[in-house]
């Protein structure tokens, strides 16, 4: 997620190109952070020590950490700490931009600071973003002033990450009173927190989610691919309803459905939230149904 969130920021400012961002995303899929790079960035090793271990490692089939400990350059505790950090996307991004000759470390760190300032993120927020921890990142981005809708947006993102892809990018929710939709799958929940929850797209971007979720290669938005999107929404709404049920609040899920070419209007705000899944843009839709919301076929 850090790759997309920060990568899209750099792209918007023409600091990197789309090709470079694609290369970084591909790099992330095929690489891990090298222990030597991490140890160097933390100041645990010098460049000379890192090069020495790398050279030795190229001749023998032994792990970097074991060699470093044996030579007294690192302690077991330090190696353990570095190994925990290997999965942090921030460090992999840093390694990637250097290996792909996109920018140097100094510029990278400066842009990270600019990103934080631009998004109004605290140091703590940035730690969560660097770690790619969605549950900790989301509260600083998903702000609607309506707790159930915020919870649903987070549930949608969490389950996209769980079932569909970790390659996601999202922007803050937007309030609307009218919205033109080309393709939408949605479900109504009734009960004390009535809502309509949906996923929309302009062209056929929902096919990405449908194909991955159903483990089928859908090529067009038809009854079968929409069914997969509907079932995904049903799962997410079910998780919301189960949580309410545990609190003693009964919610009811109506069968999900889908439609093309709709105009959505309401006398109160509803929310849309853009998300990219594997670079395919879709929109999450949440309407709190105490408003006079209308779906009109165009």
Partner 1 sequence: MASVLIVDDSRTSRKLLEGLLEKNGYNIAAIACNGEEAVSLYRQYHPDIVTMDITMPVLDGITSLKQIKQADPKAKIVMVTAAGQRGKMVEAIKYGADDFITKPFEPDDILNTFKRLLT
Helix/strand/coil for 259: strand
The CB-of-163 to partner 1 minimum distance in angstroms stands at 7
Binding flag, residue 205, partner 1 (CB under 8 A): no
Among candidate residues 123, 118, 163, 125, the one with its CA nearest the CA of residue 142: 125
With CB under 8 A as the contact rule, the residue among 177, 219, 252, 290 that binds partner 1 is 252
Letters for 16-55 (x = contact with partner 1 by CB under 8 A, - = none) are ----------------------------------------
3-state secondary structure 126-195: HHHHHHCCHHHHHHHHCCCCCHHHHHHHHHHHHHHHHHCCCCEEECCCEEEEEEEEEEEEEEEEECCCCE
Interface pick for partner 1 out of 49, 234, 279, 291 (rule CB under 8 A): 234
What are the tokens at 291? 């408003």
Q: Let me know: does 193 contact 30? Beta carbons within 8 Å.
A: no
Select from 30-38, 93-101, 118-126, 210-218 the region that touches partner 1 (CB under 8 A).
Answer: 210-218
Asked if 186 and 196 touch (Cβ cutoff 8 Å), the reply is yes
Check residue 227 for interaction with partner 1 (CB under 8 A).
yes
CA distance 62 to 187: 54
* Cβ-based nearer residue to partner 1, 79 or 286: 286
Beta bridge partners of 197: 187, 286
Smallest distance from partner 1 to CB 179, Å: 26
Minimum distance, C-beta of residue 19 to partner 1, in the bound complex (Å) = 35
63, 71, 175, 242: which one binds partner 1 (CB under 8 A): 242
Write out the residues near partner 1 by the rule CB under 8 A. Answer: 163, 213-216, 223-224, 227-228, 230-231, 234-235, 237-238, 241-242, 245, 250-255
């Amino acid at each position: 997620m850090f790759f997309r969130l920060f990568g899209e920021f750099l792209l918007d400012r023409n600091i990197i190109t789309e090709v470079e961002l694609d290369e970084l995303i591909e790099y992330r899929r095929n690489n891990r952070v090298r222990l030597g790079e991490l140890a160097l960035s933390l100041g645990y090793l010098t460049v000379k020590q890192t090069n020495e271990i790398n050279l030795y490692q190229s001749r023998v089939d032994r792990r970097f950490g074991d060699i470093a400990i044996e030579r007294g350059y690192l302690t077991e505790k330090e190696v353990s700490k570095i190994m925990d950090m290997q999965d942090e996307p921030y460090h992999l991004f840093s390694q990637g931009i250097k290996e792909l000759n996109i920018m140097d470390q100094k510029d990278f760190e400066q842009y990270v600071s600019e990103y934080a300032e631009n998004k109004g993120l605290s140091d703590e927020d940035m730690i969560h973003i660097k770690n790619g921890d969605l549950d900790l990142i989301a509260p600083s981005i998903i702000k609607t002033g309506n707790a159930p809708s915020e919870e649903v947006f987070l549930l949608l993102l969490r389950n996209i990450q769980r079932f569909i892809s970790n390659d996601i990018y999202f922007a803050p929710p937007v309030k609307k009173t009218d919205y033109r939709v080309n393709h939408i799958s949605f479900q109504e929940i009734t009960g004390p927190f009535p809502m309509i929850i949906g996923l929309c797209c302009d062209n056929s971007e929902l096919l990405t989610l449908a194909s991955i979720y159903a483990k089928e290669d859908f090529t067009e938005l038809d009854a079968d691919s929409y069914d997969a999107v509907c079932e995904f929404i049903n799962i997410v709404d079910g998780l919301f309803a189960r949580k309410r049920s545990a609190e003693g609040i009964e919610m009811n899920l109506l069968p999900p459905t889908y439609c093309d070419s709709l105009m959505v209007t309401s006398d109160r705000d509803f929310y849309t939230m853009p998300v990219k899944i594997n670079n395919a843009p879709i929109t999450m839709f949440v309407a709190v149904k105490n408003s006079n919301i209308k779906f009109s076929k165009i």
